[in-house]
């Protein structure tokens, strides 16, 4: 199984930071772009991406595949995704283990699924069909959740592990999402980490969340918390070879603060897996 390359430490590409990135060419190893932001013919977004792609590796991250929905796969969306990938040559393409709508309605949210054998069969089948169409493996991301289903027959981590093997896909492992879900549903996040199939993980997400006392929400509008840094340090010894990046989607700080967070990620990684630092 040929893995995509290790890219190092990246950031999510957001319009808020276009001037800084284009002007300074900052020390960022790679960028993750939101696929849907560039599914427009012509115009500024594509022109910006052309320039950034000349200087950095990119990966494409989508929010609309709705891979777990019971609605038919959106062939127009997949065709646009394939076209974008053929043009910009991302190292990989990812989306979320969720559904985002049904009956023609897009709720623009990453909705959870029950962890059942039936759902596993359904999602595996759809991932394989998408991969066949795109002609490449995709990476699927574990999401933050706020409800559980009485129908679930297995843990989330068992579902994810089975999914990766049976669909023959990659995993985008979001450490913040594991932390948020572990708090909301009172499970040990280390159980999730231990169960993740090491050779399937191609990318790690780090992000901030908001704390509402009784529950946490995956808002990407805060700095990464100490709890999530601690969890990342526990992830690194097993996943030292995996590209990592920071997602920030709101309440944008000065770009220098994000770069400082990225340096912190490098430091946590180096301290948690010092003998392997040179491999990234
Ligand atoms: Fe994420």
Q: What is the pLDDT of residues 100-152, one digit of tens each?
A: 988 888 878 899 999 999 999 999 999 999 999 999 999 999 999 999 999 99
pLDDT digit string (tens) for 139-158? Answer: 999 999 999 999 999 999 99
For residue 278, pLDDT beyond 80: no
Ligand 1 centroid from CA 17, angstroms: 19
pLDDT digit string (tens) for 218-253? Answer: 999 999 999 999 999 999 999 999 999 999 999 999
Ligand 1 centroid from CA 195, angstroms: 19
The pLDDT assigned to 275 comes to 60
Cβ partners under 8 Å of residue 64, min gap 6: 35, 36, 74, 77, 95, 100, 106
For residue 273, pLDDT beyond 90: no
Ligand 1 centroid from CA 84, angstroms: 21
Task: Report d(CA 32, CA 246) in Å as an integer.
Answer: 9
For residue 280, pLDDT beyond 60: no
Contact (Cβ atoms closer than 8 angstroms) between residue 124 and residue 166 = yes
pLDDT digit string (tens) for 82-91? Answer: 999 999 999 9
Contact (Cβ atoms closer than 8 angstroms) between residue 62 and residue 95 = yes
The pLDDT assigned to 41 comes to 82
Work out the average pLDDT over 154-180: 98
Q: Which residues pair with 201 in a beta bridge?
A: 171
Ligand 1 centroid from CA 273, angstroms: 23
Ligand 1 centroid from CA 203, angstroms: 10
For residue 279, pLDDT beyond 90: no
Is the four-CA dihedral 168, 247, 159, 127 of positive or negative sign? negative
Ligand 1 centroid from CA 115, angstroms: 19
% pLDDT > 70, the chain: 98
pLDDT digit string (tens) for 177-214? Answer: 999 999 999 999 999 999 999 999 999 999 999 999 99
Ligand 1 centroid from CA 168, angstroms: 20
Ligand 1 centroid from CA 279, angstroms: 24
Q: Which residue has the tokens 């399937």?
A: 200
Task: Report d(CA 236, CA 242) in Å as an integer.
Answer: 8
Please, is 50 exposed, middle or buried when counting C-beta atoms within 10 Å of its C-beta (0-12, 13-18, 19+)?
A: exposed
The pLDDT assigned to 276 comes to 54
Average pLDDT value over all residues in the chain: 94
Half-sphere exposure of 34 (CA within 13 A, CB side): 13
Ligand 1 centroid from CA 176, angstroms: 7
Ligand 1 centroid from CA 145, angstroms: 12
Ligand 1 centroid from CA 109, angstroms: 13
Banded model confidence at residue 1, pLDDT cuts 50, 70, 90: confident
Please, is 49 exposed, middle or buried when counting C-beta atoms within 10 Å of its C-beta (0-12, 13-18, 19+)?
A: buried
Ligand 1 centroid from CA 32, angstroms: 11
């Amino acid at each position: 199984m040929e893995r995509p390359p290790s890219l190092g430490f990246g950031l999510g590409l957001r319009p808020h930071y276009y001037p800084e990135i284009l002007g300074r060419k900052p020390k960022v190893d790679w960028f993750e772009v939101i696929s849907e932001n560039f599914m427009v013919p012509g115009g500024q977004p594509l022109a910006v991406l052309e320039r950034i792609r000349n200087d950095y590796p990119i990966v494409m991250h989508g929010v609309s595949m709705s891979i777990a929905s019971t609605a038919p796969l959106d062939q127009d969306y997949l065709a646009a995704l394939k076209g974008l990938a053929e043009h910009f040559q991302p190292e990989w393409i990812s989306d979320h283990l969720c559904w985002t709508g049904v009956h023609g309605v897009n709720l623009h949210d990453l909705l959870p699924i029950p962890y059942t054998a039936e759902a596993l069969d359904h999602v595996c089948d759809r991932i394989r069909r998408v991969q066949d169409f795109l002609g490449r493996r995709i990476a699927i991301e574990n999401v933050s959740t706020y409800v559980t289903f009485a129908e679930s027959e297995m843990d989330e981590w068992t579902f994810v592990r089975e999914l990766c093997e049976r669909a023959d896909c990659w995993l985008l492992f979001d450490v913040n999402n594991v932390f948020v879900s572990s708090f909301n549903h009172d499970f040990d996040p280390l159980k999730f980490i231990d169960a993740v199939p090491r050779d399937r993980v191609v990318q790690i997400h780090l992000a901030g969340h908001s704390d509402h006392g009784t529950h946490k929400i995956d808002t990407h509008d805060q700095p990464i918390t100490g709890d999530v840094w601690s969890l990342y340090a526990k992830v690194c010894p097993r996943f030292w070879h995996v590209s990592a990046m920071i997602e920030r989607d709101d309440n944008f700080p000065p770009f220098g603060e994000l770069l400082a967070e990225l340096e912190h990620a490098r430091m946590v990684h180096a301290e948690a897996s010092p003998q392997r630092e040179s491999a990234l």
